Structure 1
Amino acid sequence: MAFGSRSRAPHAGKLNDAKQIISNLWGPSEVEKSIEEFQSVLKNDGGDLDSRWSELLDEPHSRVALIGGTLFVLQQFAGINAVLYFSSLTFKDAGITNGALASLYVGLTNLAGALGALYLVDRQGRQKLIIGSYVGMAISMFLVVYAISFPIDEELRNNLSILGTILYMLTYAIGSGPVTGLIIPELSSSRTRGKIMSFSFSVHWVCNFLVGLFFLELTEKFGVAPVYGSFGAVSAFAAIFSYYFLVETKGRSLEEIEMSLNPNFAKRD
């Protein structure tokens, strides 16, 4: 009996400590609700080391893996690396022959986007930021396509090309770039988070390699405008995908996120 009492004491003490911390942080009224959420998540979760790769085929892990892989496919085939590569030629055509100056423009644009992401990510939410980012990227690409394809004044064409390129990189840096890597682990349960992230980043690097391998060949065969137009189309599709398949994670508990991904979560024993 003495041994049994000692084995239960640490657990009870930790539970009481947890209740005290929650009460101090959020108030006494939130204690029971928060403890129930933690216990529910722990009951249905487990540790990443105990999970198997085959569990990614089960709901809701399969949905999160699908979302993560698809987001990285769309991110890469929206053309960020290709646009960065081609930006030096865009600046050169506009008369900016100084490579260091062109790199400075790109660096300042990325810095501005990163600062914008820091400010907006917890104010607007992950889903809205990704959707807005891809809409901006699509508009930017179609602006460049318009500048290249239609017979307009050369100076105006060059200025529109630079504007579209800078706007594309800015909107990417605000949402699609950083938030994609942020929202996937937030959607994942602790049990499969490591494996889902490994799968998602594997997809990322494969797509990165494919875009780098075929971009120049495609531009030589079809021209810059059709390739950039396809980047714009992928960006538009990514915005639609994010609207229908992503769930917001800002300010939500682990249980609320998992219930959004799988309505049967609360019914599991």
Structure 2
Amino acid sequence: MMTGAVVTRQYLGWIIEETKTGMKTSLALIVYGVVSFGVGMVSTVLVDRVGRRPLLIFSYIGTGISLGAVGLYFFMQEVLEVTTASLASVSFIPLLGIILANVISTIGFDSLIFVIPAEIFPINIKAIAFTCLNLFSSALGFSLGLGYQRVKDLFGLTTVFWIFAAFAIGGAVFSYLFVVETKGKQLGDIQAELQGDKYNAVPQNDNDKLESVIEKDECEEATELKVLKS
């Protein structure tokens, strides 16, 4: 969300106009839409073939580089005040960078936004966790929609795209440090990796805060969970 995928889709026409290259907005929108449709079909295949963690990391990095390149173009235009004629040879960068960011994010972290939470949340809190996640995503999307225009008016598109790029690189770092691989793993294995010794600790008496609960997931497979006693 913070990499600006939603915002760039909403404001793509205006962003292309800001390049001042004479590129037809209608053509740019058509190209963007066709590419997005094709990539959306490919992403469903790659998610199951490639591990979640590497897909997250490399998609964040690729998105960050693409958006950073768009920001660099506007830096030359807005800050260095390079003329439109001088930028003519690289006028393709904004549209190409945005399309690449969309392609990479759709194949990567956008396609995993609900896959990984579904795999790591224990069954007993999954409904609450997804409700909170949806509410947070909606609030964040609304805030970004409002904040985009203000940041653009105050600091220009250079700052907008470099902020998006920074969040993308931050997402790669976070994924590398904290996200565990979930592909092909049972919920119990994932919880054991996330909780470490706490999960593996065996309760000794009634005063222990952890207990084992056997529940069945949607695939009717027994899964051992560790939950806090109420």
Shift in Å at residue 116 of structure 1? Answer: 3.0
Q: Match of 2:210?
A: none
Shift in Å, 1:98: 4.9
Identity of aligned residues (%): 25
Corresponding residue SS for 1:250: coil
* TM-score, normalised via structure 2 length: 0.78
Question: Aligned-pair distance for 1:121?
Answer: 1.0
Question: What RMSD over aligned residues (CA atoms) do the two structures have, in Å?
Answer: 1.7
Provide the C-alpha distance between the structure 2 equivalents of 1:94 and 1:109, rounded to a whole number of angstroms.
22
Which structure is higher in strand share?
A: 2
2:122 maps to 1:122: no
For residue 24 of structure 2, what is the amino acid of its counterpart?
T
- Alignment partner, residue 95 of structure 1: 22
Give the TM-score taking structure 1 as reference length: 0.67
> Deviation per CA, 1:213-268, whole angstroms, max 9, x where unpaired?
11101100110001111110011001100111111110111111110111121224
Equivalent-residue separation in structure 2 for 1:166 and 1:98 (angstroms): 14
* CA distance in structure 2 between the aligned counterparts of 1:266 and 1:97, rounded to whole angstroms: 60
Alignment partner of 1:201 out of 134, 155, 179? 134
Tell me which stretches of 4 or more aligned residues in structure 1 moved more than 4 Å. none
Deviation at 1:199, TM superposition (A): 1.0
Counterpart mapping for 1:230-249 below 5 A: 230-249=163-182
Matches within 5 A, 1:124-143: 124-143=50-69
Indicate conservation of the 8 Å contact 2:28/2:95, yes or no.
Answer: no
From the CA coordinates, give the structure whose radius of gyration is larger: 1
- State the 1:178 CA deviation: 1.6
How many angstroms does 1:113 deviate by?
2.5
Name the structure with the higher helix share: 1
Which runs of 5 or more structure 2 residues have no equivalent in the other structure? 77-81, 204-230
How far off its partner does 1:114 sit? 1.8
2:58 and 2:172 in contact (8 A); partners too: yes
In the alignment, structure 1 segments of 5+ residues that lack a partner are: 1-75
Query: Which structure is higher in RCO with an 8 Å CA cutoff and minimum separation 6?
Result: 1
Deviations for 1:84-117, whole angstroms, at most 9, x for unmatched residues? 1232134444434252x33322222222322332
1:266 paired with 2:200, answer yes
